[in-house]
């Protein structure tokens, strides 16, 4: 599956044709000169592709049809990043910085992780990108959210217009922002008037007009599930840089995430169901009852890909593909909240070493998130009571990630600074 070219709405036809011939799209955030779009600033880049069957066949991939997904799709290889010699060098470097041993706490753990991920003692963060997938869920029509499904499309417009939380945070922290329509139902309206747009790339790559109602059958066909997974992989391949902030938007997606979390962790379903966008007690009770029915209907969907197809959604599948591709490429990934972590549960079940590439931004206020984090055995950086999604929590954690790299590379050693260190440190790396 190949991504279509990024095209600016205001681009003359001859310039657009030249770009298409170059086959080198440049999302916002790429270094200057990285491609034919390198001088574009502001506005909205839109690339469209009509919904259709899995495009894998265009590259000779396996046909999907109605075969079980595990027989038709394989995740990219993700090897463990263990390197005893490099780890020893990194630890010596960290311990010789002008500070007491361990004084930077978990920031030192991040330093070590980043060095091992990149295979060097002086890791770098290059052209960091925020990547947000959006899609609708058929289950939303059953009243599992406090908001109607139309809000998904409206919020995509808000992302592109620059008025959403992730839009503001991406601008603040210098993150390129790409918003991918993986299956938004209906037409995305124009952006909010009066909000100055940032340079936001918007890709229109719908797998379908939202998933099917999971209470009536599988949310996705096997072909759609594969198409969404490959969409996520292709989006990562197309982006510059070596670091990602992942986010999502989709009314009803806390229901899909709760179902996936319960199925893949073994936690009780009720413990994974929260208020989402703000359901009252009656709404929460209705959501619990409906999701129990959905879980029972798909009791046989026990594998990660089968569960993903059964419960949805397109944006969660795309996130799972993006996580796997990023880990394959040794990109650092800052994982947002409940929905992105549910996608990671799928990726982790397929390739456990994906965790080596991941930093967990925060503990969401959504009920199922602590269960997912505990299953993965990870501890997030922040606990701020967030439950917004969009990648907002990951963007808020980004300065900690950037600071860890800056400290590792910028702090002087005891020897360089002429500061007396502990006697048992030995030589610096």
Give the pLDDT of residue 14. 33
Instruction: Decide if 90 contacts 121 (C-beta within 8 A).
Output: yes
Question: Taking 50 as the threshold, does the pLDDT of residue 56 lie above it?
Answer: no
- Report which of 355, 380, 377 is spatially closest to residue 366, judged by C-alpha positions: 380
Return the residue matching tokens 């592109």. Answer: 160
DSSP 18-74: HHHHHT----TTPPTTSSTTTT--SSEEEEE----S-GGGGGTPPP-TTS-GGGT--
| DSSP letter assigned to residue 248 | E
Domain ranges for the chain: 44-74+125-405
On the 0-12 / 13-18 / 19+ scale of CB atoms within 10 A, 188 is: buried
Return the percentage of the chain with pLDDT > 70, whole number.
80
Question: Taking 70 as the threshold, does the pLDDT of residue 61 lie above it?
Answer: no
Which phi and psi (to 5°) does residue 44 adopt? Answer: -130, 125
Question: Taking 70 as the threshold, does the pLDDT of residue 167 lie above it?
Answer: yes
Question: Taking 50 as the threshold, does the pLDDT of residue 11 lie above it?
Answer: no
Find the mean pLDDT for residues 254-274.
Answer: 97
User: How far is 273 from 208, CA to CA, in rounded Å?
Assistant: 26
Quote the distance between the C-alpha of residue 137 and its chain's center.
Answer: 18
Lowest mean pLDDT among 154-158, 316-320, 336-340: 154-158
Give the pLDDT of residue 48. 38
On the 0-12 / 13-18 / 19+ scale of CB atoms within 10 A, 33 is: exposed
- Report which of 294, 245, 214, 53 is spatially closest to residue 132, judged by C-alpha positions: 245
- pLDDT-derived band of residue 191, with 50, 70 and 90 as boundaries? low
- pLDDT-derived band of residue 372, with 50, 70 and 90 as boundaries? very high
Give the pLDDT of residue 199. 58
Find the mean pLDDT for residues 133-143.
Answer: 94
Question: Taking 70 as the threshold, does the pLDDT of residue 343 lie above it?
Answer: yes
Instruction: Decide if 154 contacts 183 (C-beta within 8 A).
Output: no
Instruction: Decide if 253 contacts 342 (C-beta within 8 A).
Output: no
Q: Which CATH number fits domain 44-74+125-405: 3.10.450.50, 3.40.50.10210, 3.30.200.20, 3.40.50.720?
A: 3.40.50.10210
Q: Average model confidence (pLDDT) for the chain?
A: 84
User: How far is 172 from 177, CA to CA, in rounded Å?
Assistant: 12
Pick 211 or 196 by higher pLDDT: 211
- Report which of 126, 130, 128 is spatially closest to residue 201, judged by C-alpha positions: 130
User: Residues 395-421: pLDDT tens digits?
Assistant: 999 999 999 999 999 999 999 999 998
Give the pLDDT of residue 250. 97
- pLDDT-derived band of residue 278, with 50, 70 and 90 as boundaries? confident
User: Residues 87-125: pLDDT tens digits?
Assistant: 999 999 999 999 999 999 999 999 999 999 999 999 999
* Residue 126 designated active-site: no
Give the pLDDT of residue 190. 67
Give the pLDDT of residue 155. 95
User: How far is 106 from 40, CA to CA, in rounded Å?
Assistant: 39
Instruction: Decide if 25 contacts 3 (C-beta within 8 A).
Output: yes
Give the pLDDT of residue 72. 81
Give the pLDDT of residue 429. 56
Instruction: Decide if 273 contacts 342 (C-beta within 8 A).
Output: no
* Count of CA atoms in the C-beta half-sphere (13 A) of 249: 29
Return the residue matching tokens 């893949």. Answer: 264
Catalytic residue among 230, 306, 315, 390, which? 390
Which phi and psi (to 5°) does residue 96 adopt? Answer: -90, -5
Bridge partners, 181 (sequence order): 134, 204
- pTM, to two decimals: 0.84
User: How far is 22 from 220, CA to CA, in rounded Å?
Assistant: 35
Instruction: Decide if 26 contacts 6 (C-beta within 8 A).
Output: yes
């Amino acid at each position: 599956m190949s991504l279509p070219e990024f095209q600016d709405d205001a681009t003359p036809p001859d310039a657009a044709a030249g770009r298409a011939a170059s086959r080198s799209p440049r999302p916002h955030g790429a270094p200057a000169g990285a491609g034919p779009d390198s001088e574009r600033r502001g506005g909205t880049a839109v690339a469209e592709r009509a919904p259709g069957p899995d495009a894998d066949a265009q590259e000779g991939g396996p046909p999907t049809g109605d075969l079980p997904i595990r027989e038709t799709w394989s995740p990219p290889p993700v090897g463990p990043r263990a390197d005893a010699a490099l780890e020893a060098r990194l630890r010596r470097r960290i311990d010789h910085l002008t500070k007491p041993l361990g004084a930077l706490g978990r920031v030192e753990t991040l330093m070590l992780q980043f060095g091992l991920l990149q295979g060097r003692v002086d890791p770098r963060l290059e052209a960091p990108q925020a990547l947000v997938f959006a899609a609708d869920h058929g289950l939303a029509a059953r009243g599992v959210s406090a908001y109607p499904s139309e809000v998904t499309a409206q919020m995509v417009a808000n992302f592109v217009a620059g008025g959403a939380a992730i839009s503001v945070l991406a601008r603040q922290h210098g993150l390129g922002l790409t918003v991918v329509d993986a299956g938004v139902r209906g037409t995305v309206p124009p952006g909010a008037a009066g909000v100055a747009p940032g340079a936001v790339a918007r890709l229109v790559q719908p797998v379908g007009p939202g998933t099917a109602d999971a209470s009536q059958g599988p949310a996705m066909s096997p072909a759609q599930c594969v198409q969404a997974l490959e969409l996520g992989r292709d989006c990562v391949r197309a982006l510059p840089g070596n670091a990602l902030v992942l986010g999502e938007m989709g009314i009803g997606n806390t229901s899909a995430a709760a179902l996936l979390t319960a199925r893949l962790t073994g936690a009780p379903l009720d413990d994974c169901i929260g208020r989402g966008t703000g359901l009252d007690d009656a709404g929460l009770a209705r959501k619990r009852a409906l999701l129990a029915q959905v879980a029972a209907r798909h009791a046989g969907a026990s594998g990660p890909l089968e569960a993903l197809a059964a419960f949805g959604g397109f944006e969660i599948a795309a996130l799972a593909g993006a996580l796997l591709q990023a880990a394959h490429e040794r990109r650092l990934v800052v994982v947002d909240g409940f929905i992105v972590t549910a996608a990671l549960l799928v990726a982790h079940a397929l390739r456990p070493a994906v965790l080596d590439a991941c930093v967990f931004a925060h503990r969401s206020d959504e009920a199922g998130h602590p269960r997912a984090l505990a299953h993965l055995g990870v501890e997030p950086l922040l606990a701020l009571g967030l439950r917004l999604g969009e990648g907002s929590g990951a963007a808020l954690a980004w300065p900690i990630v950037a600071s860890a790299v800056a400290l590792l590379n910028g702090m002087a050693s005891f020897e360089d600074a002429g500061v007396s260190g502990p006697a048992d440190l030995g030589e610096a790396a």
